Amino acid sequence: MLPRRVREEKDTQHMADKPGPETPKPDPAAGFRLPDAADIGRSMADVAERSQRIVSEWLKRQAEEGPESPDPLNIGAAFMAMTAKLMANPAHLVQAQLGLWQDYMSVWQSTARRMMGMDTAPVIQADPADRRFKDDAWRESEVFDFIKQSYLLSARFVQDVVSHVDGLDDRSAQKVDFYARQFIDAMSPSNFLLTNPEVLRRTAETGGENLLRGLNNLLADLESGRGKLRIKMTDMDAFRIGENIAVSPGKVVFQNDLIQLIQYAPSTEKVLKRPLLIIPPWINKFYILDLRPKNSLVRWAVSQGHTVFMVSWVNPDAKLAEKDFEDYMREGILEALDAIEKATGESAINAIGYCLGGTLLGATLAWMAAHSDDRIKSATFFVSLLDFRESGELNVFIDEEQLKMLEERMNRRGYLEGSEMATTFNMLRANDLIWSFVVNNYLLGKDPFPFDLLYWNADSTRMPARMHSFYLRNMYQENRLARPGGIVLEGTPIDLGRIRIPAYFISTREDHIAPWRATYCGAHLLSGKNRFVLAASGHIAGVVNPPEGSKYNHWINEDLPEAPEDWLAGAAEMAGSWWPDWHHWVSGHDRRMVPAREPGSGKLKPIEDAPGSYVKLRIS
């Protein structure tokens, strides 16, 4: 899918809190610490020198890439349409403004009573889960409480106005709503020095050194992005792929232009006869499923007796610009199936597709059904879209004007930069993945906290131009995969209805990338006996939820009614992880066991140790 991938989920939403320890409250008697004039002088000289280099880099990149559109996100037309509709019904706007004015007066009166020592209830309260206002001063100080409530009232006013515009088409309404929220989030008082009590305390404690360190962090991020802001979310030097993340033992046993195929070492004496192939998305790297031993799906599946094969996608450059969706099917899945048969002697396998990997798996299964290829005996779809009718807020970025501009950029380079995709995903959770780091890194002057999930999130991958254009247009824009014969792969019309093998769909209740109601509709496109399970949390944490942690519950309904709401109404909530339910389901189709298979014991000899070299290719 479009870009990255990591609001994500309530455990990973706390990533916003991770950057650094809590700031201690200053002793009022200590006063303000005076800044060191010599340090400031040296810092500003360094700032001037680095700023010149950043501007030069930015100008150089602009010359290479050409001028950008003045409205690259195509927001203007949507807001013009909204304004026209508002002006056609001015009474609604006037009523909303009067309501806002009355609310402001109530806040004034409430603040005045508090300043006179009287107890008074707030006019508006922040969501308890809103981490921006966690500092005690937002409640205890009359001034900061007034600032907070004024902002919340203004935010509610803007949101109410843009979400109640009559006559606006659905796509424009979605775009206006999304970018209005982006504006609201950006204007939060927590994002500014003079209206953030924690930043003010920090400035008093350090004599302004936090601001100098923050400026240094800002310059470093601009240097990293060659003039574009690339916010550092974690300590990128704290992790080493294959050393402290992605450490499950195994061997690369096959590779081609697009993939390395990893076979993991067994941890049981007997294993299930059917091997397991995992197809992750190529928008991100596979090791989200093998991040640490305690939450590694790979390690857990191996411990349950699965012979696990993992596709590790290459990070493509301009040489792979012409690789298409067909190439990903052929070189990513079909050649992996051939390799697994050589490695194990088995032609019957179970397959898992995660996110975009699941979309590819669905299309490939339909192609295989048309060619009487039945090597995949069961399919599991992790938060995967097959029907893109209700594909969520990512649709905001996919209209004809934006697609044309995106294709122009991709065709100049041969690929889409991973950083552009990461920015798109981060905007879906701006408070957690943008503004919290602006405050931490630039205003508080702290270094980001070492966090493995954010390291993975920042490990961006590129998209080949031809493949990505096909995917966005045929899936997101036109929803052709859901229509029989809507797309053609290697001369074969794709019909998901021809897929008759058993399928397991796991979706997550708070998924902002693959909304669960949309993935539920996809389950109805397949003709086999399908099982749908809904997990708590979101696109990452809801999937990476090991039984040992028992962090999130899940819902099960043996039936599959037409409407997702009917499914949920009849679902039973189950404690803990869904992983055991999936293992019981997949192993129930073939419980035969065979002696454990060591990587390299078959016809394919090891190329290198897991996790391989493809996953270590980083973008500059």
Residue 59: CB partners within 8 Å, gap ≥ 6? 227
DSSP assigned state of 516: H
Tokens of 102: 């009355």
Other beta carbons within 10 Å of 181: 19
- The DSSP bridge partners found for residue 573 are 555
How many Å apart are CA 596 and CA 306, to the nearest integer?
A: 9
Phi, psi of 70 (to 5 degrees): -65, -15
Which is catalytic among the residues 73, 253, 355, 487?
355
How many Å apart are CA 599 and CA 593, to the nearest integer?
A: 17
How many Å apart are CA 557 and CA 542, to the nearest integer?
A: 18
Burial of 434 per CB tally in 10 Å (0-12, 13-18, 19+): buried
**How many angstroms from the chain centroid is the CA of residue 75?**
22
How many Å apart are CA 319 and CA 419, to the nearest integer?
A: 19
CB 500 within 8 A of CB 527: yes
CB 4 within 8 A of CB 460: yes
Instruction: Respond yes or no: is residue 521 known to be catalytic.
Output: no
Closest CA to 185 of 363, 17, 417, 433: 433
How many Å apart are CA 227 and CA 51, to the nearest integer?
A: 9
Residue 163: CB partners within 8 Å, gap ≥ 6? 173, 177
Mark out the alpha helices in 304-458 (DSSP H runs).
325-327, 335-344, 356-370, 400-413, 418-427, 430, 436-437, 452-458
Catalytic sites, residue numbers? 355
